[in-house]
Each structure stands twice: as C-alpha cells, then as structure tokens.
Structure 1
C-alpha cells in the first residue's frame, strides 16, 4: 500500500532534481528492490532496531504529508499532523487492519494505477517535449533514494514477485507522467499528479484521486506505525510515544524532501544490515 502514497510525491521530488532522468532513478530503485527482496528481515540488535524504527517513522511522516497535500490542500500541515495523531492513537488502542482488508486495498490501488496508466496512454500529450539533458548522476541517485522505501514489499512471502509488480507499476507511472507533463511541470509541485489527470483529459476524476489518496495513505500509515512499534519498540511505550512526537514534529516543520531523504537513507542502511545478516547466516551453514 505504501507505493500508492509514495508515487503521489516521489515523482515530483525526483523530477525536480533529475528531469527526465527521474525515470532512471525509479528503474534503479526497482532493480535494487527486486535484488534485495529475499534478504532476511532485520534482527534484534540495537542498530537494527533503531534503523528500522526511524525508517518507518519517516515513512509515516511522508505518508501524512501526502495526505495533507492531496486531501486537505487548504491546511496541509494541520491535516498531516492530524493523521499522525489519529494513527498513533489507533495503534495505542490496539487497532489493526484485517489482512483481507489490506489485500483488497492493495488490489484497489493497483487497479487505480492501471487506470491512470491507461488514461495517460490513450490521450496524446499537449506539452512540447523538452530536450533531454545530460545525465544528472546526483539527481538520479536522489530519485532512486526517495523511491526505494516505497518499492520494498512489506510481506516476506512472494517478496520477489511483489517487488517486480511494484517496480513495474512505478516505472510505467513514471513514463506516462513524463510523457504527459514533462519533467518541468511534473517537478513543479508536490501535488503534480493532480495536473496529470487534467493532462490526460480526466479532470473530472479529481474527487476520485482524493479518495485514492486517502486509501493510499491512511491504512499504510497505520500499518507502518504499528510495524515500527511491534518490531522495534515492543513493551516500551515511552519509545513509541517519543516516536509519535518526533513524527508529528517532522510533518509540521521538516520539508517533504528532507523526510523522503531520511526514509531513503534509512532504507539503504536497513538493506546493508539485512545483507550482513544474510552473509552471517550463510557463513554458519
């Protein structure tokens, strides 16, 4: 579910820095996600606990920022903060989404992405294609960095096939967004996916996009904050409370770009720790 919320903002952030080469960044992130899909989960060392917890709290903050920008554009910061408070309270109360509901939400979001791709593919772009500049290596790396956290499958079963599906959808959405909007317009604002609907002659679907934004952010934020608490701060209520306060401060005072970079760097460190655990397990065999 995280990918749905992530794509609403990471493409804009990536295009702002890399231009057309944001596509290379998304492809790179997809390759890394597929290649690392079968690594073991993080363990219980302090480094692994802190890395996993911080990364997931950054993801919650990113999802909350997307919620505020798309659902309550008049007061995005307050809406984002409200979502953090709601999901933290729901987690403390023991609320969990049923697995069947999570699966159906994932199906709905995949269907929404497929519909968006189809709409964009069926309408000729109205923008004049801008020249493709020389590769911006730093921009490509940043685009991959901010996209990667949303491409890693949450579940461990069928991890590689899930990563392939998520990566393929992300690449296709990036392609149609670049064709319809061009990199300048795509990177103009954090809510440029709204412009994508207008470019695809589907402006009447703006209300549906708002609904999709809610479905892509609220459940994912709840499951992510629960995952952070259960896996990295079990039986430590004060740690979970401190994490909620830090996340609340992040959505109010930290730019979306910085939140996404923190999530990306945390994900990279998490993959390094998971790879080390894999090598240690192989060495013991």
Structure 2
C-alpha cells in the first residue's frame, strides 16, 4: 500500500531530476529492495529503534502529502496535517486495519495500476519526445533516493516474492507513464498523474483517481504510523504524541520533495544498519 500512495509523487520528483533515466533509478531501487529483503529486520535497541521510527514517520508524511495534493488540492497542507492527526488518534484508539481489508486494498491498487498502464499503452502519445540523452548521475541518484523507500521491505513478512512483484509493478508503471507523458511533462508537477490521464484521453477517470489515492494513502498511513509508534513509544506515551505532532507539522510545510528525500535518507540509513546487523550475526555464527 505504501507504494501506491508514494509512487505518483516519486515519479514526478524523479522525472524532474533524472528525465527518462528515472526508469533506471526505479530498476535500481527494485534491486536494492530485493537485496534488503534478504537481510534481517532492524532490532529494537540503540540507534536501530530510532532510525526505524524516523523512516516510518517520514513515510507517513509522504502518504499525507500525496493525500493532500491529490484529494484536497485546494488546501493540500491542511489536509495532509489532518490526515496525520487522524491516524495518530486512530492508533491511540487501538484501531488496526484487518488483514482481509489490507489484502483487498492491495488487490484494488494493483488493479488500478494495471488499468493505468493499459490506458497509457493503448492510447498513442501526442507530440514528439526529446531524446533520452546521457544520464546525469546526481539526478539518477536523487530519483533512486526518492523511490527506494517505497519498495524497502519494512516487516519480516514483506520479503521475497512480494518485493519482486512491487518492484516490477513500479517499473512497469514508470515505463508506461514515460511513454504516454514524456519525462518533461511527468516532472512538471507533483500531481502529474492527473495530467497523464488527460493526455491519454481518460480525463473522465479523474474522480476514480481521487478514490484510488484515498485507498492508497489512508490505510498505509495508519499502518505505517503504528509501526513508527511501536518503535518510538511502544506504550503510547508523550513521545508518541510529540512524534505525531511533528509529523503533522512536517506535512504542512515540507512539500513532496522534502518529504520524499527525508524518507529516502531514512531508508538508506535503515538499509546500512541492516547490512551491519547481517554481517555481525554472520560473524557470531
């Protein structure tokens, strides 16, 4: 679910940074995520606990930012903050997303991705496209940074086949978006997926996109904040309240680029700590 809410923002930011080479960044992010799926999860001691908490809080801000921009475009910052505060309240009330509902949402989001790809492929793009050009390494690295946390396995059960499937879906959606819209138009706006539907003569599906973004962001925000709170303050104390308020404030002022970069940096540090833990456990064995 985290991929569905964050990918539209990450593709826009990645395309603005790397152009058509955002596809290469998505492929590299998928390979890194598959590598991470083979590593042990972070522990609950020392810096690992807080790095994991920060990475998940940043992911909540990304989801909230996507919600605000796509669902309440007139007041995106306020809507993002309200979403964060809502999931904080829901977590304190002990609400959890039932597993059947989570699976149903995942299936619905995969179906929406397939429909989007089909629309992009069936309808021929309008206008000419500039050449791909030579890769700008810094831009590709930025694109990799913002896409990677969306694919990084967070829990022990999010490994192996699931990571491969999500990585392939992200790459296929990226390729379809680049084919239909081009790298320039894809990177012009954080909500360029709306432009993608218009370019593919599917403007009538804009309300459907809004519903899809609600499904992609609300459940993911609730689940991800619960994971963050379990790391930062398992007892739901003052620290959890402060973390939620900070995330809400960040959702107001951060914007999509800052939110994605923060999540990316958290994901990279988490990956490095998991590599270190894997090597340490290997030496002990």
TM-score clears 0.5: yes
The 5 Å alignment of 1:48-197 reads 48-157=48-157, 159-197=159-197
Please give the root-mean-square deviation of Cα atoms over the aligned residues, in Å. Answer: 1.1
| 1:149 shift after superposition | 0.8
> Quick check: 1:180–1:199 contact (8 Å CA) kept in 2?
yes
Structure 2 counterpart of 1:219? 219
Distance 1:239 1:130, change over 3 A: same
| Distance in 2 (alpha carbons) for counterparts of 1:185 and 1:118 | 19
| Distance in 2 (alpha carbons) for counterparts of 1:154 and 1:103 | 17
| 1:45 shift after superposition | 2.0
Report the count of equivalent residues.
285
Structure 2 counterpart of 1:201? 201
> Quick check: 1:29–1:147 contact (8 Å CA) kept in 2?
yes
Q: TM-score, length-normalised on structure 1?
A: 0.97
| Distance in 2 (alpha carbons) for counterparts of 1:173 and 1:130 | 20
Structure 1 unmatched runs, 5+: none
| 1:231 shift after superposition | 3.1
| 1:153 shift after superposition | 3.2
Structure 2 counterpart of 1:275? 275
Q: Deviations over 1:200-233 (max 9, x none)?
A: 2211111100000000000000000001112332
SS of match in other structure, 2:125:
coil
Q: TM-score, length-normalised on structure 2?
A: 0.97
Structure 2 unmatched runs, 5+: none
Q: Deviations over 1:41-69 (max 9, x none)?
A: 11022210110111111110110010000
| 1:158 shift after superposition | 6.2
| Distance in 1 (alpha carbons) for counterparts of 2:200 and 2:9 | 18
Q: Deviations over 1:218-268 (max 9, x none)?
A: 000000000111233212511111111111111111232111111101101
| Distance in 1 (alpha carbons) for counterparts of 2:17 and 2:254 | 18
Distance 1:58 1:205, change over 3 A: same
Structure 2 counterpart of 1:284? 284
> Quick check: 1:127–1:182 contact (8 Å CA) kept in 2?
no
SS of match in other structure, 2:160:
helix
> Quick check: 1:127–1:180 contact (8 Å CA) kept in 2?
no
Structure 1 counterpart of 2:41? 41
